[in-house]
Every structure is written in structure tokens, then in C-alpha cells.
Amino acid sequence: MYLVITGICFGQGVLKVITNKSNYSYGDSIEVKVTLTNNTNAPFTIIGSSSCVAMIKINDVRFQTMCTADQHEFNFSVGMSMTWIWKLDPKELGIPDKEGQQKIVGLVYPQKDSIYINAPKYRGGIVAVGIRDSIPESLYKSLRDSISATVISRWGSPLVVEYWRITNHSIDSLVDKYSKDYRLRWIEAKRPLQFTKQIVTSIDNSRELPSDYSLLQNYPNPFNPVTKIKYELPKSSFVKMVIYDNLGRAIKILVNEFQNVGSYELNLDASNFSSGVYYYRIQADKYSATKKLVLLK
């Protein structure tokens, strides 16, 4: 990731990381918020990389970041803040990975901030293992049983990979113990990390960015001859929206371009359409949806 600053010194702004509480019991989920505020007198822009626009780490635990921010620009006007929120599930991530005090670091390059929490080591999580095809299945079953592991996915041939859910062991300890086991090609702890929400706050307004794709019903409906169509994108996507007649023929393309994350509103002027039933369909990434609209003249 990298930072593009317009009109001010490189690295300006204030970064703050906080958690929802400072002391956790075994199995508690941990909510982490990283906020960047433009407290300067000029705007700046952050451009997301293929890794993430903001990230966290706990005691040097390696996360596989999947923040869907690639090449998306976050423009900070004067006084504006953006908060990224993670909710960390210890059952999936196997964290915290040691007893006692944990240091959580938030990063929006080139700025860092950190906070300390207290929590017990979590015994569980998910590991990925490379299976040797020369080893009998009975030996794998014996290994899985000895560490209370359950196979949750399996793929590949002849190089097979399995994901195991662990319930009674630290996944980091297992990786250390079995990294050179003759039955495995490799083993690693899996910690895919994706922030669950982005919140934008400015001195003029506050809005929450969408968490899911959605296509809303046009309003008004029925209409004559103008109506509004709203839709939401949780990540930057190529969007195509087309109007179809009652026979399924495409009669008007409303959108056919790459768009950034956010909420959108279109004004459809159907002055040249005949009265009747029409459909509008959106396709964005793997999402698609269709709604019916009625024109009454």
C-alpha cells in the first residue's frame, strides 16, 4: 500500500487503533478499529494496494489480508475520518496465540498506532496441510484423531491439500511440532483477515459504506416518466445495468463501467418508452439481481 498526499507534507494526519475492551475471557471475539483522520488544512488520498488499505497484526501473527481495496482511492477532505473495523473470531483464527498481554498494531502506511489487551491463549483454529499420497489414510486418521482435528475441506490431485479445524490445541504449536512430520508435505496456520466494515465520518456528514451488494426497488413504481433506481457496492466492481422489455429484449444500458465502493442512484427517464412492464438487471462481480418496473402513461 502507499500514500499519495496532495498539498501537505507526507505522512500527515492522525492514526488511532482501539479495541472494544481491554480484558478478554477465553473465546471472546475481539473488535479492532483503526481510524485515520485528516486533521490538516488540506486534502489527501490513500490508494489501496493488492494487500490492504489498512491492516492490523497481533503479536506478530501473520494474517492473510483480503481487504478488497485494490486500487480504490480513499479521499480525505479536511476534517474527515475513516474507520476500518475487524471482528476477530478466535475459533477461526486461533488467536490470541499466547497468554497474557497482547499488542495489537494498526497500520495505514506510513503511520502506526498500537494498543495492549489482556487475553488467554486460544486453543483452536484452522490449519492447512499438504498430504503425501504415499502415506496410507489410516495414518492420517490417526494423526487427525490425536490432535482433535476435523477435515472441513479437501481438494487437489495428486497433490492433495486439506483444511483441518482444531479444537484442543494451539495451531501455532501444532505447526511447530509437525512442520517436519514425514506424513505431511507442509502445514501452516490459516488466518485470512478481512475487515468487516468501513465507516466514513466528516465534519458535514456521516455515512456507512455498504457491506453487501444490493439492488433496490425503483421509486416511484408505477411511474411516469421518471423514476429513481438505487444500488449498493461493497467493493469496487465492474457494473452493468440493463433495461429489458417484457419479451426479454435489452432496450437500454444504464451502466456499463467500473465503479468504486458506495451507494448509487440513477434517474431513469422513460419518455421514449411505451406504457408497460419492464425489468432492470444489475451484474457486479458475481452478484446479479433483477427488479420489475411499471410505466403508466
Q: How far apart are CA 126 and CA 140, in angstroms?
A: 16
Residue span of the structural domain in which 103 resides: 2-120+192-201
Residues 52 and 132 in one domain: no
Residue 193: predicted pLDDT: 82
Residue 41 neighbours by CB distance under 10 Å: 10
Residues 247 and 177 in one domain: no
Q: How far apart are CA 218 and CA 85, in angstroms?
A: 31
- pLDDT for residue 1 is more than 60: no
pTM of the model: 0.62
Q: How far apart are CA 224 and CA 240, in angstroms?
A: 24
Residues 155 and 216 in one domain: no
Residues 95 and 196 in one domain: yes
Residues 280 and 260 in one domain: yes
Q: What is the CATH number of the domain that holds 63?
A: 2.60.40.10
Residues 184 and 234 in one domain: no
Average pLDDT (65-89) is: 79
Distance from first CA to last CA of the chain, Å, rounded? 53
Residues 150 and 28 in one domain: no
Per-residue pLDDT of 130-171, as tens digits, reads 988 888 889 988 999 999 899 999 888 778 899 999 998 999
Give the end of a domain, one of 172, 201, 230: 201
Residue 26: predicted pLDDT: 94
Per-residue pLDDT of 160-195, as tens digits, reads 899 999 998 999 999 999 999 999 999 999 998 877
Strand order in the sheet with 262-269: 214-215, 226-233, 262-269
When pLDDT is cut at 50, 70 and 90, the band that residue 3 belongs to is very low
Q: Backbone dihedral region of 211: left (phi > 0), alpha (psi from -120 to 50 degrees) or beta?
A: alpha
More confident residue, 251 or 80: 251
Domain count for the chain, please give it.
3
Q: What is the CATH number of the domain that holds 151?
A: 3.30.70.80
Q: What is the CATH number of the domain that holds 266?
A: 2.60.40.1930
Residue 71: predicted pLDDT: 66
Kind and range of the H or E run holding 137: helix 137-146
Per-residue pLDDT of 30-57, as tens digits, reads 999 999 888 878 888 777 776 677 889 9
Residues 73 and 196 in one domain: yes
Give the end of a domain, one of 201, 227, 248: 201
Residues 58 and 196 in one domain: yes
Residues 174 and 215 in one domain: no
Residues 151 and 222 in one domain: no
Residues 102 and 226 in one domain: no
Average pLDDT (103-123) is: 91
